[in-house]
């Protein structure tokens, strides 16, 4: 046990040292480049938001990027091409012409130029004045990461299921040994206490999918050198969709007594019923909104804090800032390993709680 702890600590300190050396080398320019750095100030907010937002390709390192397909539905029909044709541009400078139509990538949003226009024109608020957005069905990096996580889940759980079938005593092997305690935990600590022993089984597939889906995508977003890393759970549309699914399942699973207590609470005076009914109806929608914002905010905050600490090296323009910022960034990253699992647990637990409230018997 001591050897394992020592090796883990040694690996962590080695990683901190090499990270500091890398950032120190990058943050300490040579004499020839000092003048250009004086002219161009480092924008920490631009770097941070560029990292956490969605895009039409994966930027791996330097000029190497992985292009993704751009799928647009325009006034003249379907248009498809690869995002590499924009040459990694996000300021609308590169114009792509397809089927007689011209497109620009402005801050990772695809715009179609009006007829006769050769470049995008912007107003004082940096909004295009001679272009409009077509329907965008592109495979962005968030969409690709989501599809990749689904494939990984299918492969892993198919492997776990086969390990049960091959076992003579119903004891799993390989990945099945890891996933079995997690499934039992979701069943015994989330589903049964919140939904009840009589109804929990029909919700287990959704709760397990929800837990592992959020957890796996959160882990993908933490891997620093993973080429397909994306901030999927930090996308409000993703968390909002999961919350909407939870709301719809709650509605379609609810009993008459649930709506009776929600709209016209029995046993209360009529004036109190009129006062509480709007509050309860508002709470019905506030609950999934809280689910959506909680997951989005916690995952995004972790990325912002780590990138802000790293940015101190470039803001202060000294490599010595890395002696403080890099260890703190590694510390926050270690905490994020716990946060990604905790957020998956909280989202799943609250979803099960809402299901249980909808299925509660009339008192």
| pLDDT of 207 | 94
Q: According to the model, what pLDDT value does residue 168 have?
A: 66
Q: Residue 73 above 70 pLDDT?
A: yes
Across 47-61, 200-214, 242-256, 323-337, least confident range? 47-61
Token pair, residue 141, equals: 């990096």
Residue 337 clears pLDDT 60, i.e. is over it: yes
Interacting residues of 60 by C-beta distance below 8 A, sequence separation 6+: 66, 227
Cα distance between residue 107 and residue 219, in whole Å:
26
pLDDT for residue 131:
85
Interval 77-92: pLDDT, tens: 898 888 888 876 666 6
Residue 363's pLDDT is 58
Position 34 scores a pLDDT of 45
CA distances from 68 to 82, 113, 145, 324 (A): 6, 21, 12, 37
Q: State pLDDT tens for residues 97-109.
A: 888 888 888 888 8
Contact 105, 190 (CB under 8 A): no
Whole-prediction pTM: 0.79
**pLDDT 10s digits, 266-306:** 777 778 777 777 888 888 888 899 999 999 988 888 888 88
Residue 178 CA to residue 215 CA, distance in Å, equals 14
Q: Which helix (H) or strand (E) holds 94?
A: strand 91-98
Q: How far apart are CA 233 and CA 347, in angstroms?
A: 12
**Residue 199 has what DSSP assignment?**
T
Report how far residue 85's alpha carbon sits from residue 70's, in angstroms, rounded to the nearest whole number: 10
Task: Estimate the crossing angle of helix 204-222 against helix 270-316, to 10 degrees.
Answer: 20
CB 304 within 8 Å of CB 247: no
Mean pLDDT of the 129-148 span:
88
Beta bridge partners of 59: 65
CA-based torsion, 51, 107, 294, 184: positive or negative: negative
Residue 249 — very low, low, confident or very high, per pLDDT cuts 50/70/90? very high
Give, for 150, the enclosing helix (H) or strand (E): helix 141-166
The pair of three-digit structure tokens given for residue 322, joined into one six-digit string:
């890395």
Compute CA 191 distance to the chain's CA centroid, rounded to the nearest angstrom: 24
- What are the domain boundaries of the chain? 69-138, 142-359
**Both tokens of residue 348?**
């799943």
Mean pLDDT of 1-16: 47
| Cα 26 from chain centroid (whole Å) | 29
Q: Bigger pLDDT: 329 or 202?
A: 202
pLDDT digits (tens, 9 = 90+) for 11-67: 544 544 444 444 444 444 444 444 444 445 667 677 777 677 888 887 776 667 788
With CA atoms as reference, report the closest residue to 202 among 214, 191, 189, 215: 191
pLDDT in tens, 141-195: 889 989 989 999 999 888 888 887 777 666 777 777 888 889 999 999 999 999 9
- Residue 88's pLDDT is 63
Taking 70 as the threshold, does the pLDDT of residue 348 lie above it?
yes
Count Cβ atoms within 10 A of the Cβ of residue 145 and give its class: 0-12 exposed, 13-18 middle, 19 or more buried. buried
């Amino acid at each position: 046990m001591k050897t394992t702890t020592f090796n883990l600590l040694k690996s962590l300190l080695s990683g901190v040292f090499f990270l500091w050396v890398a950032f120190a080398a990058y943050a300490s320019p040579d004499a020839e480049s000092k003048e250009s750095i004086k002219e161009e100030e480092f924008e920490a907010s631009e770097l941070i938001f560029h990292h956490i937002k969605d895009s039409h390709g994966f930027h791996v390192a330097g000029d190497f990027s992985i292009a993704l397909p751009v799928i647009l539905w325009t006034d003249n029909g379907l248009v498809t091409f690869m995002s590499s044709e924009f040459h990694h541009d996000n300021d609308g400078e590169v114009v792509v012409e397809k089927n007689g139509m011209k497109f620009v990538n402005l801050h990772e949003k695809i715009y179609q130029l009006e007829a006769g226009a050769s470049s995008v024109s912007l107003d004082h608020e940096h909004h295009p004045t001679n272009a409009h957005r077509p329907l965008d069905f592109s495979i962005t990096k968030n969409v690709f990461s989501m599809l990749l996580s689904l494939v990984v889940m299918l492969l892993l759980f198919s492997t776990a299921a086969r390990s049960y079938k091959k076992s003579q005593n119903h004891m799993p092997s390989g990945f099945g040994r890891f996933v079995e305690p997690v499934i039992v935990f979701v069943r015994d600590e989330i589903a049964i206490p919140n939904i009840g022993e009589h109804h929990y089984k029909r919700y287990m597939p959704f709760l397990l999918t929800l837990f592992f889906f959020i957890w796996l995508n959160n882990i993908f977003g933490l891997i620093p050198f993973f080429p397909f890393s994306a901030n999927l759970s930090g996308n409000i549309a993703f968390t909002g969709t999961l919350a909407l699914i939870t709301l719809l399942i709650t509605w379609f699973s609810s009993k008459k007594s649930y709506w009776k207590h929600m709209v016209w609470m029995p046993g209360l005076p009529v004036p109190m019923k009129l006062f509480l009914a709007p509050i309860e109806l508002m709470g019905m929608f506030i609950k999934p909104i809280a689910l959506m914002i909680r997951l989005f905010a916690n995952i995004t905050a972790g990325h912002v804090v780590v990138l802000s600490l790293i940015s101190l090296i470039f803001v202060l323009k000294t490599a010595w800032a890395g002696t403080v910022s890099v260890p703190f960034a590694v510390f926050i990253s270690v905490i994020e390993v716990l946060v990604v699992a905790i957020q998956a647990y909280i989202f799943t637990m609250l979803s099960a709680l809402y299901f249980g409230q909808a299925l509660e018997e009339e008192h």
